[in-house]
Amino acid sequence: MLSAAAAGLVGVALAGVLALPGPLPTEAAIRVLADGAGSTTLGLAALSRVVPRLPTPWRLLAAVAGFWAVAEFGTLIFEAAHVVGVPVTGLSAGEFGTYLVHISGGQVGIAILIGVTTVAGGSALAFRRPESASTDLVLVFAAVALALRPITGHMSQQLFGSVLAAVHALAAAVWFGLLIALTLVVRTRGEWAVALPRYSAVALPSVATVAVTGLLNGLIRLDGIGALTTTGYGRILLAKIAVLLGLLWLGWWWRRTWVPRAADHRMDAERSLRRAVVEVAVMAVAFGLAATLAVTA
């Protein structure tokens, strides 16, 4: 998780360079941590659905969801400072309260925070009483919390924009979240033999959805093809497309080499884990670029 967080921040830094001479979107750094934690929460909750033999790691799920809640609160602070037009350190309690109560972005943020804290609290309770616990509500609340901000963001002004943004965010969360969940939970050769082919079957439609909806979102937002190179948004979008193409190639190569070998018990758990961590890190760079796109005008 530390390597994923570091890679996400690398993606934000790269996007900041590509956005020059425009302003550096400092809020993207906390946004990528929130998005990554949210995706990981969704992946951990969905893991037992994809691989039934793996139990739901309730303690880990509660901890990650708790971090997600903290990151979402930090995102709210940065958003409020941006709307008010002051540095984060200059935001007063009154201005923050006004943003939360009277501005739609603050109200959406409160709804997200309520959903995330519900996930964290429910997971902590499930850890205490696992015999009666179910991931159903966790999955619902996590998915809604992940989709709320894209639904109400800049794409909501476009025809079908909210739908495209929500589908894009959820597909990316499933793709990234399930893989990082595997790196956190799977520890034996036999578990990788079962879990990896099942994840691969889910990842293929997820990445296809991410690619199509992401391209449509970007083209809708841009004012012509020329903006791909003349605007910070366009250059960041190009970098995100390049990383996505790299991930597509890596996924194709893994399906030809890693997946069949792991399924046949011909690869030990340590090597499978290393490959998964590499892919998670590259995905996290894409998340950093995406987080910057989300806050770039």
**Residue-wise pLDDT tens digits, 101-137:** 988 889 999 999 999 999 999 999 988 887 767 888 8
72-104 residues labelled b (16+ CB within 10 A) or e (exposed) = bbbbbbbbbbbebeeeeeebeeebbeebbeeee
3 state DSSP class of 1: coil
- Predicted confidence band of residue 154 (pLDDT cuts 50, 70, 90): low
**CA–CA separation, 54 and 66 (whole Å):** 22
* pLDDT tens, residue by residue, 46-69: 999 999 888 899 999 999 999 999
| Residue found under tokens 């969360």 | 173
> Count of domains in the chain?
1
DSSP count for the chain of H helices, then E strands? 12, 0
Nearest-angstrom CA–CA distance, 295 and 54: 37
pTM (2 d.p.): 0.92
Range of the domain at 76: 2-294
Cβ partners under 8 Å of residue 123, min gap 6: 58, 61, 62, 65, 138
Would you say how long the chain is, in residues?
297
Which residue type occupies 278?
Answer: V
- Using alpha carbons, list the distances in angstroms from residue 151 to 112, 143, 148, 289: 12, 12, 5, 19
Average pLDDT, the chain: 89
CATH number reported for the structural domain that contains residue 70 in this entry = 1.20.1630
Binning pLDDT at 50, 70 and 90, where does residue 295 land? confident
Task: Assess whether pLDDT exceeds 70 at residue 155.
Answer: no
Q: What percent of the chain has pLDDT over 90?
A: 62
Handedness of CA 15, 5, 243, 289 (dihedral sign): negative
